[in-house]
Amino acid sequence: MMSLFSKIAVITLVLFAGACVTPFEMNVSSAKKYLVVEGNLTDTDEEQNITIHETYNFEKDSYNVPTLNLKVEIVINGSETVRSTEKGNGSYVFPYGFRIYPGTAYQLRITKPDGTVYESSEEKTTQVPAIDRIFDEFESQGIAGELRDIPANYIYLDFKDNPEEKDYYVWTWKLWERQYYCYTNYYDFSCDSECWEILYNKDFNVFSDVYANGKSNYGKLIGKIPFYSFDGALLEIEQKTISAQVYQYFKLVSEQSQKSGTLVDTPPAAIVGNIKNIHDITEPVAGVFSVASIVKQKYWLDRKNGYGKAVPVNVLGRAPVPAPNARPYPCVEGPGRTPWKPEGWIN
């Protein structure tokens, strides 16, 4: 099945020509197979990787198949080349210690075994400013739902924009919630150890400083966290600066998702970003290559401002149905769950 990014990457067709962005649509069913690239390099001391797969369309279903045996490189300032190592499952990892630097130009180059070459536009970004403050407010009807509105904590932050540069921002978040049930088969079976559910934002929050260059920004809404529990939760916010082209890409994706439903709905058209087949520019290549300067900050969401105002929706999305007299199940580590207490967690 398709990942969140891949579903995002089939919403609206976008082609970049220099700094211009011209959206148009392509019927997904007309493209039986197309390449999808998930590539975001950062200035953090973390593993830098590019994920590449092909999406196959069969009637109403889409399936992702990792693309193997590729030569994946980054070209720096048009001259220096850094090659990746294939890690498996369509993931290509760059050497330990590699990271991007704001103000430097980076281009992605992908070569298939048959000689087909794909290249991105050159991308560079500015230095991200610090997050000055994070705070939250409780809203009893915070998120619109199909049957009823969902209570939520709105997350806001303050930051001061760089005065010397034109900056383009995107915010994402990661949330750790305590999980007490590790397996469901009609009944919910408890965990045999401590366990945390890991949740991520499902939309893009973007911002341009065109009307606020160099100014302090107060109370920027960057997320809506469902009121899962009366207990607290740990939130990690990423504030990123990106290029003008990538900003336009995510802005259009965000606008399209608001018109058609949510980012996880079945999209009507494919999205193509700043990557193209250099020998056949008509071939659609979904996804985008971006570079970002990032600052991360954790925030303890104590939820005390929601006491007595709403009933929690639970991380399961419903009230649990505990299994009677059943053995517990292990907390299996993965992208959405961990048995390890996250740093910054408050008991």
Q: What is the DSSP string of 102-171?
A: TT--EEEEEE-TTS-EEEEPPB--PPPPPEEEEEEEEEEEEE--SSS-EEEEEEEEEEE--SSS--EEEE
Confidence (pLDDT) at 80 = 96
Confidence (pLDDT) at 64 = 83
Confidence (pLDDT) at 257 = 66
Q: Distance between CA atoms of 117 and 112, rounded to whole angstroms?
A: 7
Residue 327 vs residues 61, 192, 319: alpha-carbon distances, Å: 37, 8, 20
> Of the candidates 273, 244, 283, 289, which has an alpha carbon nearest to the alpha carbon of residue 13?
273
Q: Distance between CA atoms of 31 and 28, rounded to whole angstroms?
A: 5
Confidence (pLDDT) at 259 = 59
* Burial class of 304 by CB neighbour count within 10 A (0 to 12, 13 to 18, 19+): exposed
Confidence (pLDDT) at 294 = 98
- Residues 134 and 157: beta-carbon distance below 8 Å: yes
* 45 alpha carbon, distance to own chain's centre: 18
Confidence (pLDDT) at 58 = 64
Dmax (CA) for the chain in angstroms is 65
Give the pLDDT confidence of 1-11 residue by residue, as tens digits: 444 444 444 43
Confidence (pLDDT) at 307 = 96
CA atoms within 13 A on the CB side of 310: 24
Question: What global pTM score does this model have?
Answer: 0.84
Q: Distance between CA atoms of 93 and 48, rounded to whole angstroms?
A: 6
Give the pLDDT confidence of 45-59 residue by residue, as tens digits: 999 999 999 988 766
Confidence (pLDDT) at 308 = 94
Tell me the average confidence (pLDDT) per consecutive run of 10 residues in the chain, 347 residues long: 44 33 42 84 96 81 87 97 96 97 97 97 96 98 89 97 92 97 96 97 88 88 96 98 92 72 43 87 90 98 96 94 95 96 95
Place of tokens 């000689």: 115
Confidence (pLDDT) at 271 = 59
Q: Distance between CA atoms of 82 and 15, rounded to whole angstroms?
A: 26
331 three-state secondary structure: coil
* Burial class of 136 by CB neighbour count within 10 A (0 to 12, 13 to 18, 19+): buried
Residue 303 vs residues 145, 151, 200, 227: alpha-carbon distances, Å: 21, 11, 18, 8
